[in-house]
Amino acid sequence: MGLELYLDLLSQPCSCIYVFAKNNIPFDFKPVELLKGGGLNIQEFSNINSLKKVHILRIELTGLLFPLLSGKHCDSSVPEPEAQHPTHWYPFDIQKRAQVDEYRPWQDTTVRANASKILWLKGAFNVFLGVYLVTIISQLALGELNNSLKKFAEQFLQDKPFIMGSKISLADLVAIRELTQPIGAGCNTFEGWAKLGTWGSQVEEAVGKELFQEAHEWILNAQDLRKIQIDPQMKEEMKPQLLKMLK
C-alpha cells in the first residue's frame, strides 16, 4: 500500500499537501470530491474515515491514519526513508522552523478569513443558498484583504524572493493557495501589488507551473461550481457556515 493521500483539491490545505508531496514524497493519490458526495473513492474513504473529513494520510508501516492540518504534518509524519527531501520546505533549524510556523496562525485570522469570504460571496454562494451576493459585504472583505496583503508584503515577504528567504517553504505554499481563492471568483488578488505578483510567479515556477495549475484547477475555476450537482447533505451542512459570513 505505501503512502496514500485522500485529498479534495478544492480544500486549501489539501492542495498545499498535494503540491508538497508531488515535489518530495512517493504516494498514491486518492482524490475525494466532497461537494459531489465523495467521488470515485467515497466508499473506500468512508470505510477508513467515517467523519468524511479531509485530509487523510494512511501509511502501511504504522497502519495509522493521520488527519493532516497543514503541509508540515506531511513533512513530520512520513517515516524514513520517504522523508528525505530538501530541508528548505520545513527547516530543521528551530528558529527558521518557527518562522514558517509563525505565518500560518497569522494568516488564518487575516488572509484566509477574507479570501474565503470573497470566493464564496462572489463565486459560489448561490450554489448553496440560491442567491447572488455581490454586495457591500464582499467589498468590505476585499478592503480587509488588501490591508492583510500590505502586512504580508511588509512583514513577511519584505524584499525576499520567498517568505523564508531565497528558497520556497511550506509557508509560501499555504500563502499562495489562500491568495488564489479570490482569483477564482474573478478578483485579481495581485492587481496593484507588483511585489506580490512577482512572488506569486516565483512560487509557481518553484513548484512547477504544470503542477501548480493541476493543484489549483478547481479553485481557479470556482465559478464552475454553479454547473455541478452538489451533494444534498453537503449543501445542508454548509449552509450554517456560509450564513455566518453575512454577520
- Tens of pLDDT, residue by residue over 28-81, are 888 877 766 655 555 665 666 555 555 566 554 444 444 443 444 444 444 443
Single pTM value for the model: 0.76
> What is the rounded distance in angstroms from the CA atom of residue 180 to the CA atom of residue 67?
24
Give the domains, in start order, of the chain with CATH numbers: 3-77 (3.40.30.10), 94-244 (1.20.1050.10)
CB distance 118 to 136 below 8 Å: no
pLDDT tens digits, 188-216 = 888 889 999 999 999 999 999 999 999 99
Of 90, 95, 101, 68, residue with least CA distance to 24: 90
